Chains A and B, each alone.
Chain A
Amino acid sequence: MKGKRAAVLGLASAVAIAFGFLESLIPFGFKVGLANSVCLFFVKRKDYSGAILVNAVRIVVCTVCFSNPVSLIYSVSGAALSFMAMWFTEKLKIFSVFGISIMGGVFHNIGQIIAATVLFGSLAVLVYFPVLIIVGAVCGLLTATVTVLVEKKVKFKI
Chain B
Amino acid sequence: MIKKTDIILFVSLLVAALLLFGVGVLCRQDAKIAVITENGIEVCRLSLEKDTEVSLSHNTVKIENGRVFVKEADCDNQLCVKTQPISKTGEIIVCLPNKVTVEVKNEG
The interface size bin for chain B is 20 to 34
A28–B77 touching, CB < 8 Å: yes
**1/0 per residue A122-134: CB within 8 Å of B?**
1011010111011
Contacting residues, chain A, for B2 (C-beta < 8 A) = 96, 98
A137–B13 touching, CB < 8 Å: yes
Within A97-152, the residues touching B (CB, 8 Å) are: 98-99, 102-103, 106, 119-122, 124-125, 127, 129-131, 133-134, 137, 141, 148
B91–A95 touching, CB < 8 Å: no
Complex Cα distance, B10 from A83, in Å, reads: 18
Contacting residues, chain A, for B3 (C-beta < 8 A) = 94-96, 98-99
A96–B1 touching, CB < 8 Å: yes
Shortest A106–chain B CB gap in Å is: 6
B18–A102 touching, CB < 8 Å: no
Residue in contact with A125 in the complex, picked from B1, B10, B79, B92, CB distance below 8 Å? B92
Complex Cα distance, B91 from A28, in Å, reads: 20
Does A69 touch B at the CB level, under 8 Å? no
Does A3 touch B at the CB level, under 8 Å? no
A127–B90 touching, CB < 8 Å: yes
Shortest B31–chain A CB gap in Å is: 12
Does B16 touch A at the CB level, under 8 Å? yes
Q: Which secondary structure characterizes the binding site on chain A?
A: helix
B10–A133 touching, CB < 8 Å: no
Shortest A136–chain B CB gap in Å is: 8
Shortest A46–chain B CB gap in Å is: 18
Contacting residues, chain B, for A102 (C-beta < 8 A) = 6, 9-10, 13
Contacting residues, chain B, for A130 (C-beta < 8 A) = 17-18, 20-21, 24
* Contact surface of A with B, Cβ cutoff 8 Å: 27-29, 94-96, 98-99, 102-103, 106, 119-122, 124-125, 127, 129-131, 133-134, 137, 141, 148
Beyond A28-B77, A119-B40, 15 additional pairs, beta carbon < 8 A: A94-B3, A96-B1, A98-B6, A99-B5, A99-B10, A102-B9, A106-B13, A120-B37, A124-B92, A124-B101, A125-B92, A130-B17, A131-B17, A133-B13, A134-B13
* Contact surface of B with A, Cβ cutoff 8 Å: 1-3, 5-6, 9-10, 13-14, 16-18, 20-21, 24, 37, 40, 76-77, 79, 90-92, 96-97, 101, 103
